[in-house]
Structure 1
Amino acid sequence: MGEGTLRSVSLSWRRIDDWLEAHAPATLELLNPPVTAEALESAQQVVGMRFPVELSESLKCNDGLSDWTSLLPESSPLSASGIAEHWRICMETASNNDGFVVPPWEDEPWWHPLWVPWAASADGNAHIIDLRPRP
């Protein structure tokens, strides 16, 4: 991952922040400050893997939101601790309900340990980053 990609994530957040300041200042106020190194490391330990550098960079710009709002279409970015908590709940739910098994009518399981949730809707559905090795 090049420095240009990280600069792109930071630049994107600056543009989003500027737009929110001009058009939705109440939503801007919901953005958390940057994640601390300790909180980021703690979340990665819970999940058992390093987050993609783009996600880590995004969290270093804004560590999610202090309250749910549909900043993204129908969803809200999670904080590092929110990512860890959502992942943990999904792991527990999947292990208790055959959620790691791919049903014959689907192409994916309900949950996979290498999925990292990065945003969630009000009903708890998550946007995930799929870290499974594939072509």
Structure 2
Amino acid sequence: MKQVWNEFEQWLKTNRPKAVGTLNEAAAESEIAAVEQKMGLTFPKNLKDWLMIHNGQRDEYIAVIENYTLLPLEEILYTWQTLKELLDGGEFEDFPEIEPIGPVKKEFWWNPRWISIATNGGGDDICIDLDPDEGGKIGQIITFWHDWEQREVIADSLEEWVTATISHTDH
């Protein structure tokens, strides 16, 4: 993961120089463990490694990957808790059925085993899927739209998602 981060930071310096200064310091292992406990989830090792290099970004609305900013631990937790409250309160029950593109479970509008790691600030997130459908991979990267039923697997892993961004120099 360190190698991927180093390449990503080099890419940022060239393509999104303003974003480099918005990256947070590393998260401590104990901080990650506390968030995992509150969520009742175990983060994949690559996510822990990622957060222990940079704990997301400060909230400065400078996107790093497409139009997404990277979430720090406290925002990962806050997003999860907010969506979990909505789920538990039955808010998603009348929502349309999910239209999966790739092996994403369609039983849930939002699945409590999805970890939001990036957001566009409008309720649409990039998530790590810890509960993929048959044929999927634990840790695959999926899209979550707050107002659209499509859920798409966009990468098999966090590393693959970041690497695809780097090789996509579209800016």
Q: Shorter chain as normaliser: what TM range?
A: 0.7 to 0.9
CA distance in 2, matches of 1:23, 1:104: 38
Alignment of 1:41-52 (within 5 A): 41-52=33-44
Residue of 9, 25, 40 corresponding to 1:17: 9
CA distance in 1, matches of 2:15, 2:128: 29
Residue of 54, 60, 66 corresponding to 1:73: 66
Q: Indicate the structure with greater helix content.
A: 1
- Going from structure 1 to structure 2, the CA distance change for 1:21 and 1:93 (only over 3 Å counts) comes to same
Asked if 2 retains the 8 angstrom alpha-carbon contact of 1:10 and 1:61, the reply is yes
CA distance in 2, matches of 1:23, 1:117: 24
Q: CA RMSD in A?
A: 2.0
Percent identity reads 23
Q: CA deviation at 1:124?
A: 2.0
CA distance in 2, matches of 1:92, 1:126: 17
Residue of 89, 97, 108 corresponding to 2:82: 89
Alignment of 1:1-135 (within 5 A): 9-67=1-59, 68-99=61-92, 101=93, 105-107=97-99, 108=106, 109-132=108-131, 134-135=133-134
Partner of 1:3: none
Partner of 2:161: none
Q: TM-score, normalised by structure 2?
A: 0.66
Structure 2: state its 5+ residue gaps: 100-105, 135-171
Q: TM-score, normalised by structure 1?
A: 0.81
CA distance in 1, matches of 2:95, 2:124: 19
Q: Indicate the structure with greater strand content.
A: 2
Deviations 1:69-92 (A, max 9, x none): 210112111111211111001101
Q: CA deviation at 1:122?
A: 1.7
Q: CA deviation at 1:61?
A: 1.1
